[in-house]
Amino acid sequence: MKEEIFVSGRHIPNIDPYLHIWHWQIPVYLFLGGLAAGILFFAALYTILGKEKEMPTTVKWATFLVPVALVLGLFALFLDLKHQLFFWRLYTTVRIESPMSWGAWVLMLITPLSMVWVATYIKELIPNWDWKFEILKKFEKLAIEYRTSMAWVLLILSVILGIYTGILLSAFNARPLWNTSILGPLFLVSGMSTGAATIMWMSKDHFERTLMSKIDLILIGIELFFIVHLFMGFMASSEVQIQAADLFLGGQFTVSFWVFVVLLGLVFPAVLEILELRGYKIPVAIPAFLILFGGLMFRFIMVEAGQITRYLY
């Protein structure tokens, strides 16, 4: 029998017996960040491709959600901090080796930029909108002129935002469940998929909806492919990764992951979307909601399970 125990009574809150230092705030932020990244990606992409007319929701209306999502996400992050008075320290330095530092700066750039993007379309939502100040009116004109350049910047930043949420977790080699390079791309694709689902949900245009639906299907396919690879990778790694994977293959997260994330969040909406494309009438809210739900659940499960996995003992 092997017995390895603390004899000095160690029982630090949130660290023993299992690490649980990040609570709901982090998965909520990751979800909102991914969602914002997805929406911005498509908005930027279709602006660059010159398809603003065919894809109004993509390029305009969905992006109104982005500043809200980002601000809410940032607020959730702020709530997670335990030394909140000093949060401004994040912006006094750029630490290349710290994904969290990248994230802080990317958000610093993308949030105002997305607000500017939204500001350029605000007159289309509220016709009587008045900027009141001359300088703002001038700025609006400038922004609309440079919309394509903004789109390029947003395209790159949104990819960075989407992928960094995964790299943030995968950089922690102390948490075997996260320490896989597939996590970055997986989170990016998941974010894009939730973005596409939102656009699909919001869109009133049949063409746009169908296109987004098809794109979403491809993204779901890629996501499923990544998930399979994720687990293949774990099972072929060392013992700590095998034990991490066991949490999902018979352990406490098996049902919640495979049912809520894979089945309900990916496979079932994909089936519904295929049926819709084949001509059956499916209210778009159902697959869209399920994809969003699946994305949120995925992040909750990954954050919680990842903290449980560990190296020693």
Q: What is the DSSP string of 133-148?
A: SHHHHHHHHHHHHTHH
Task: Give, as ranges, the residues between 181 and 240 that touch another protein (CB under 8 A).
Answer: 238
Nearest distance in Å: CB 14, another protein: 7
Task: Please identify, using beta-carbon distances, which residue of 6 and 207 lies nearer to another protein.
Answer: 6
Task: Please identify, using beta-carbon distances, which residue of 126 and 312 lies nearer to another protein.
Answer: 312
Residue 104 is a binding residue for another protein (CB under 8 A):
yes
Measuring CA to CA, how many Å separate 306 from each of 142, 146, 174, 180, 183?
46, 42, 10, 11, 12
Nearest distance in Å: CB 173, another protein: 6
Spatial distance between the Cα atoms of 295 and 287, rounded to a whole number of angstroms: 12
Residue 160 is a binding residue for another protein (CB under 8 A):
no
Interacting residue with another protein among 53, 83, 206, 278 (CB under 8 A):
83
Spatial distance between the Cα atoms of 257 and 90, rounded to a whole number of angstroms: 34
Spatial distance between the Cα atoms of 160 and 150, rounded to a whole number of angstroms: 15
Burial, 128: exposed, middle or buried (Cβ in 10 Å; 0-12, 13-18, 19+)?
Answer: exposed
Residue 299 is a binding residue for another protein (CB under 8 A):
no
Interacting residue with another protein among 75, 146, 172, 231 (CB under 8 A):
172
Interacting residue with another protein among 50, 84, 130, 278 (CB under 8 A):
84
Task: Give, as ranges, the residues between 11 and 30 that touch another protein (CB under 8 A).
Answer: 11-16, 19, 21-22
| Cα of 153 vs its chain's centroid, Å | 19
Going 267 to 270 to 271 to 272, the CA torsion angle's sign is positive
Q: Which residues bind another protein (CB under 8 A)?
A: 1-16, 19, 21-22, 80-87, 89-90, 92-93, 95, 97-101, 103-104, 171-175, 238, 307, 310-313
